[in-house]
Amino acid sequence: MMHCHCSMCRKQHGAPFATFVAAALSGFRWLGGEDAVAGYASSEQGVRSHCRHCGSVTPMLLPQAGLALVPAGNLDGDLGLKPQAHMFVGSMPKWYTITDSLPQHAGMPPEFGGGLGVERPAVAQREGVADGSCLCGAVAFEFRAPQRMYQCHCSRCRRARSAAHGQNVFVKLDDFAFTRGEELVTQYKPPEAQRFTQAFCTRCGGKAPSVQRARGVVVVPAGTLDTDPMMRPMANIFVASKAPWFEITDAYPQYAELPPP
């Protein structure tokens, strides 16, 4: 079980990092919905896939390596396995800090052949503005004056981002604008949810900001950011729903559910 900080994972998951369980392909099988899996060729080497209905990241099958890479955020129950290392920390944004003591690899760990990731073109930081885009780059946006930023451990965020937790920036509607590709963004709302929606690019499955007009707010998944969000997480929220395999080691305040108003 490994945490991956590569830019592709951050874009696809919308989370600050992704976590995968590597399992023998021979032990993997779909239980349903394989026809809902959509693929996107994110590089020469790889196809990334997601559920076309909700945007969750789906397992990556690597026949040559005999492996299935399964996003841990979508696991039910507890394998008893814990994360063992961080990879592609060389691709981490400057504004993110690792606070646990697991081994760190700049790129791919040596036992998997080493090598660095596919780097995305750098986006220059603008004064007072944050920029972001999806995995394929067709969707892009900008915002000013972020209001709040939380790391959310709720089961919806974990499932939607297919990650240990979500990391979301809340922006006022008037301070946010899509700069391209808004027509490619679709939203999925779980039937029982009051507010939660997942927005994603229909071309690549990469996460996108969720525009909630009625509330006058836009929820930006921090993994989509190309430049500094100009604020840092204010707290870990919904920690009562935290993944059993994930340990919080940062110093941000923790709330069992919502933070105080």
User: Smaller CB distance to Zn ion: residue 183 or 247?
Assistant: 183
Reading phi first (left if > 0) and then psi (alpha if -120 to 50, else beta), residue 33 is in left
> Considering only residues 51, 130, 136, 239, which one is a binding residue for Zn ion as defined by CB under 5 A?
136
User: Smaller CB distance to Zn ion: residue 4 or 130?
Assistant: 4
What is the three-class DSSP state of 40?
strand
- Interface mask (CB under 5 A) for Zn ion, residues 101-130, using x and -? ------------------------------
Region near Zn ion per CB under 5 A, out of 8-16, 123-131, 244-252, 253-261: 8-16
> Considering only residues 171, 201, 219, 239, which one is a binding residue for Zn ion as defined by CB under 5 A?
201
- The verdict on 206 binding Zn ion (CB under 5 A) reads yes
- The verdict on 140 binding Zn ion (CB under 5 A) reads no
> Considering only residues 107, 173, 203, 250, which one is a binding residue for Zn ion as defined by CB under 5 A?
203
Q: Which segments of the chain are extended strands (E)? A: 2-4, 18-24, 37-41, 47-51, 60-62, 67-71, 85-87, 130-133, 140-143, 148-152, 166-172, 176-180, 185-188, 198-201, 207-208, 210-212, 217-221, 235-237
Reading phi first (left if > 0) and then psi (alpha if -120 to 50, else beta), residue 114 is in left
What is the three-class DSSP state of 188?
strand
Q: Give the integer Cα–Cα distance in Å for 150 and 162.
A: 17
Q: Give the integer Cα–Cα distance in Å for 181 and 194.
A: 27
Name which of residues 151 to 180 contact Zn ion (CB under 5 A): 152, 154, 157
Q: In 3D, which of 143, 140, 149 has the Cα closest to residue 170?
A: 149
Q: Give the integer Cα–Cα distance in Å for 79 and 191.
A: 28
Q: Which two tokens stand for residue 104?
A: 């760190």
Minimum distance of Zn ion from residue 241's CB (angstroms): 8
> Considering only residues 6, 21, 51, 140, which one is a binding residue for Zn ion as defined by CB under 5 A?
6
End-to-end CA distance of the chain: 36
Region near Zn ion per CB under 5 A, out of 54-62, 67-75, 147-155, 220-228: 147-155
User: Smaller CB distance to Zn ion: residue 38 or 231?
Assistant: 38
- The verdict on 148 binding Zn ion (CB under 5 A) reads no
Minimum distance of Zn ion from residue 127's CB (angstroms): 27
> Considering only residues 1, 2, 3, 9, which one is a binding residue for Zn ion as defined by CB under 5 A?
9
Q: Which residues bind Zn ion (CB under 5 A)?
A: 4, 6, 9, 134, 136, 138, 152, 154, 157, 201, 203-204, 206
